[in-house]
């Protein structure tokens, strides 16, 4: 065992013990975070306008601070972007994480001196948690790659801005710098396809042990590696045994990855966002990710099926239940208050509090009242593929409300993997299998099928690299960009219909 691996094990043990202190006192931990956040922001413009000085408890908070999304908070953010101080949080933010908004153009998410360290610590602690549980630490001596956006930052009114992953690249600890790939120059390449080609050239002869990134874009990297070396990724990188991912559910990609790698590897799931680092997988044995209750974030939860009603109840951590779909609401030390990030979660454990990401509150299908969410379509597809050689590269689902003939239906756009696996022999039979799995999960969908409001879902095949072409057409190829699994309209469907 190398000295670096030994040091990692010692640190992992120390961090585990530290983590258990707040894990074992979740409600008290969240209450402390809440009080600290309110105290620190009392003299800000937002704090003064929302009566922070008089807030004593969560009930006071809900009465004074309504739930908002970016649009609702934009008037305050605009002042911060202009360079004004003490608006949402004391002083000015260190950075803006710039993301693409759907209705407001570019979104500027503040990252403060108080919030930034938690992004770095959470990613580190996820790896240390894995080391503590498994005892595996030799990988820290090998090369590690983090597929991410360019670290080149712009500046706006004295505040640097860029993609979150690019900002985080400036905070990689010195002890990892020698192991980290790709090179700074390659990481700065903006065009994603050119960047991946450069990464392949740089890494193909290295001893890669850890690979991290959003599955869809890591898949592109793996495909190019395998094509260039004419052998599986697992043979190219014989010591590659840990894949770290976030942003999307890995299950639809797992079979494809195992085929590209040629064997199984351990994985760690993360739940990061520009707005905060919320959770990471702390166990290879248990389902879900550990919700980070001591990371400068106060959490509230609204039941997804009540979210669009008037004045829905906002639950705190001590009030949540297992297997209920909640919209995640956050208040943070970056100055986001009762902020709806758009993600929905379900709790898989209450001791400790672990979650899975079940979808997006805006990414759903309910054209007929069916309330279909991302977790359901992903699980249905996985069930239909079990026991077969069928592999899927990517997919999305949209409602077809006005078909040329027959009843309306859900249309599944699927790009099958044609290399090293098979497409379904009978596409209609495969659609029936997915449909049956959907009906078991979603009673509303089942009722619509039984009541002849909807007919069985229809699969439309997407040509090879079709989804990459779609993302490229939207200027969202690579980086942290993700394809929506569900749409309640035909915006994505129209792209493929026109081809």
404-462: pLDDT as tens digits: 899 999 999 999 987 656 788 899 999 999 999 999 988 889 988 988 889 999 999 99
Q: Determine contact, residues 120/277, Cβ cutoff 8 Å.
A: no
Q: What pLDDT was estimated at residue 443?
A: 84
Element (H, E) at 15: helix 3-23
Chain mean position to CA 29: 24
Whether 351 has a pLDDT exceeding 90, the answer reads: yes
What does the angle CA 331 – CA 334 – CA 339 come to, to the nearest 5 degrees? 35
Percent of all residues in the chain with a pLDDT value above 90, rounded to a whole number: 62
Span 465-473, mean pLDDT?
A: 89
Q: Determine contact, residues 416/461, Cβ cutoff 8 Å.
A: yes
Whether 156 has a pLDDT exceeding 50, the answer reads: yes
- Cβ neighbours of 2 (radius 10 Å): 12
Q: What pLDDT was estimated at residue 102?
A: 43
Q: What pLDDT was estimated at residue 309?
A: 85
Q: 115 is written with which tokens?
A: 């919030």
Span 317-336, mean pLDDT?
A: 96
Q: What pLDDT was estimated at residue 103?
A: 42
Q: Determine contact, residues 142/209, Cβ cutoff 8 Å.
A: yes
Task: Please state whether 83 falls in left (phi above 0), alpha (psi between -120 and 50) or beta.
Answer: left
- What the chain holds in terms of domains, given with CATH numbers, is 1-361 (3.40.50.980), 374-498 (3.30.300)
Q: What pLDDT was estimated at residue 477?
A: 77
- The strand pairing partners of 390, in sequence order, are 422
Find all residues with CB under 8 Å of 453, minimum gap 6, and list them.
368, 407, 408
- Cβ neighbours of 332 (radius 10 Å): 27
Look at 216 and 184; give whichever has higher pLDDT. 184
Span 364-384, mean pLDDT?
A: 84
* Model confidence pLDDT, tens digit, residues 157-185: 889 998 888 888 888 777 666 788 988 89
Q: Distance (Å, rounded) from C-alpha 337 to C-alpha 84?
A: 18
Percent of all residues in the chain with a pLDDT value above 70, rounded to a whole number: 97
Q: What pLDDT was estimated at residue 21?
A: 97
Q: Determine contact, residues 70/145, Cβ cutoff 8 Å.
A: no
Q: How confident is the model at residue 304 (pLDDT cuts 50, 70, 90)?
A: confident
Whether 480 has a pLDDT exceeding 70, the answer reads: no
> How do beta strands 143-146 and 180-181 pair?
parallel
Q: Determine contact, residues 328/314, Cβ cutoff 8 Å.
A: no
Span 194-211, mean pLDDT?
A: 94
Q: 98 is written with which tokens?
A: 């710039």
- Cβ neighbours of 488 (radius 10 Å): 15
Q: What pLDDT was estimated at residue 479?
A: 65
* Model confidence pLDDT, tens digit, residues 228-258: 999 999 999 999 999 999 877 787 778 889 9
Whether 381 has a pLDDT exceeding 60, the answer reads: yes
What's the chain's average pLDDT?
90
Span 52-60, mean pLDDT?
A: 96
Span 329-349, mean pLDDT?
A: 95
- The strand pairing partners of 289, in sequence order, are 355
Q: Is the peptide bond before 352 cis (omega within 30 degrees of 0)?
A: yes
* Model confidence pLDDT, tens digit, residues 98-142: 876 544 467 899 999 999 999 999 999 999 999 999 999 999 999
Element (H, E) at 30: helix 26-41
DSSP letters of 198-259?
Answer: HHHHHHTTS-EEEEES-HHHHHHHHHHHHHHHTS-HHHHSTT--EEEEESS-SHHHHHHHHH
- The strand pairing partners of 284, in sequence order, are none
* Model confidence pLDDT, tens digit, residues 257-286: 999 999 999 999 999 999 999 999 999 999
């Amino acid at each position: 065992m190398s000295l670096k691996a030994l040091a990692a094990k010692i640190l992992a043990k120390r961090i585990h013990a530290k983590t258990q202190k707040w894990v074992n006192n979740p409600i008290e931990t969240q209450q402390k975070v809440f009080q600290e956040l309110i105290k620190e922001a009392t003299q800000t413009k937002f704090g003064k306008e929302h009566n922070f000085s008089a807030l004593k408890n969560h009930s006071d908070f809900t009465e004074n601070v309504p739930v908002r999304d970016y649009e609702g908070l934009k008037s305050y953010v605009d002042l911060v972007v202009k360079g004004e101080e003490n608006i949402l949080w004391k002083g000015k933010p260190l950075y803006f994480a710039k993301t693409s908004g759907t209705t407001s153009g570019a979104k500027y998410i503040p990252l403060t001196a108080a919030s930034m360290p938690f992004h770095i610590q959470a990613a580190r602690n996820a790896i240390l948690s894995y080391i503590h549980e498994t005892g595996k630490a030799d990988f820290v001596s090998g090369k590690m790659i983090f597929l991410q956006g360019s670290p080149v930052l712009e500046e706006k009114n004295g505040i640097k801005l860029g993609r979150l992953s690019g900002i985080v690249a400036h905070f990689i600890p010195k002890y990892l710098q020698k192991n980290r790939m790709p090179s700074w120059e390659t990481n700065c390449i903006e065009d994603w396809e050119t960047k991946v080609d450069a990464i392949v050239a740089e890494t193909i002869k290295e001893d890669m042990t850890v690979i991290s990134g959003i599955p869809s874009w890591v898949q592109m990297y793996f495909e190019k590696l395998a094509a260039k070396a004419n052998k599986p990724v697992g043979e190219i990188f014989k010591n590659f045994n840990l894949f770290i991912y976030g942003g999307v559910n890995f299950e639809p990609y797992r079979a494809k990855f195992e085929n590209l790698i040629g064997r199984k590897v351990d994985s760690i799931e993360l739940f990061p966002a520009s707005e905060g680092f919320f959770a990471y997988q702390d166990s290879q044995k248990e389902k879900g990710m550990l919700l980070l209750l001591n990371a400068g974030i106060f959490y509230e939860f609204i039941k997804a099926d009540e979210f669009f009603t008037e004045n829905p109840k906002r639950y705190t951590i001590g009030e949540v239940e297992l297997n209920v779909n909640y919209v995640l609401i956050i208040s943070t030390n970056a100055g986001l208050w009762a902020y709806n990030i758009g993600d929905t979660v379900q709790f898989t454990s209450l001791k400790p509090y672990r979650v899975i990401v079940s979808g997006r509150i805006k990414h759903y299908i309910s054209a007929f009242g069916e309330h279909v969410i991302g977790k359901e379509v992903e699980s249905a597809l996985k069930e239909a593929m079990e026991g077969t050689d069928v592999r899927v590269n990517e997919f999305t689902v949209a409602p077809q409300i006005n078909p040329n003939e027959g009843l309306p239906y859900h249309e599944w756009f699927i790009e099958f993997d044609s290399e090293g696996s098979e497409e379904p022999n009978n596409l209609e039979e495969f659609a029936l299998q997915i449909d049956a799995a959907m009906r078991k999960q979603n009673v509303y969908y089942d009722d619509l099928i039984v009541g002849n409001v909807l007919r069985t879902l229809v699969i439309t095949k997407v040509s090879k690299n079709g989804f990459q072409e779609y993302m490229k057409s939207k200027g969202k190829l690579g980086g942290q960009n993700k394809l929506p699994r569900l749409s309640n309209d035909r915006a994505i469907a129209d792209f493929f219909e026109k081809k």
